[in-house]
Structure 1
Amino acid sequence: MIHVFCNKRGSGKTKALIHLANERANNIKGNAVYIDDDSRPMHELDRRIRFITTNDFSLKDYESFYGFLCGILSEDYDVENIFVDGLFNIVSGNISDAAHFFLKIENLARKHNVEFYININHDCTEEIPDYLKKYVA
């Protein structure tokens, strides 16, 4: 399952995602992963959550990020939750170009029984693409 949280930059999405990740860490038997493009949230996360900063990797587009997610899941079969903070900060692209990416991670989520929680900087009060409507929380 994919849950997308979208709002303008500075609206508190990161704080809410950190809170959700910490809350979910208390209620899962497996592992959780938090992915961000900077390391600031690392100290606010529960120590049981694996934190990964994407600055250490050359993730340029949706395909490389998808491969990155597959690598995480192939390394740890116990991952139950993946939190992605600021998808469009991690990869170049925009909301209208991401349809194929979301379809691929939906299949990945179903196959590996993983919940994805993704923050994007986009005002959801404006028109959002049809493919994204089913994921918006």
Structure 2
Amino acid sequence: MICVFCGEKGSGKTKELIRLANEKALTSKGNLVYIDDDSRPSCELKSSIRFISTDDFILKDYKSFYGFLCGILSEDYDIETVFIDGLGNIVKEGLKDAAHLFYNLEELSERYEVDFYININEVEKNVPEFVKKYIA
């Protein structure tokens, strides 16, 4: 499953994603991963959630971000949920260029039974059509 939260910057998406991650940590049988472009949320997450700051990696496009996600999943087969906070901050390409990423995430989700929760700093009416089917 892929679930996208969108809204303007500062609308509370990160707080909601952190709350959701912490909630899932209480009931999840598998591992959880929280990905962000900086380390600010790390101290608000439960210690059982693996936090990864992408500041430590060079993710120049959606193709390299997909490879990054595949590396994370291949390292730990028990990952149940991946939270991606601020996709546009992590990868600087425009959202309109993310169609292949979402297609590949859908395949990863089905094949490895991983849920993806993604925050996007964009109002719903401005997101590309291929993203709209994932909006919560």
Instruction: Decide: shared fold, TM above 0.5.
Output: yes
Query: Aligned-pair distance for 1:130?
Result: 1.8
State how 1:40-59 maps to structure 2 within 5 Å.
40-59=40-59
**TM alignment of 1:1-137, pairs within 5 A:** 1-124=1-124, 126-137=125-136
AA of the residue aligned to 1:49: I
Q: CA deviation at 1:32?
A: 0.0
So what's the TM-score if we normalise by structure 1?
Answer: 0.97
Unpaired runs of at least 5, structure 2: none
Cα distance in 2 between the residues matched to 1:129 and 1:67: 23
Aligned length: 136
* C-alpha separation in 2, matches of 1:95 and 1:36: 17
The SS at the match of 2:27 is coil
Identity of aligned residues (%): 62
What RMSD over aligned residues (CA atoms) do the two structures have, in Å?
A: 0.7
- The 4+ residue runs of structure 1 with deviation greater than 3 A are none
Unmatched 5+ residue regions in structure 1? none
Q: Distance in 1 between matches of 2:108 and 2:127?
A: 23
- The CA distance in 2 between the partners of 1:101 and 1:82, in whole Å, is 14
Q: TM-score, normalised by structure 2?
A: 0.98
Deviations 1:9-48 (A, max 9, x none): 0000000000000001111111000000000000000000
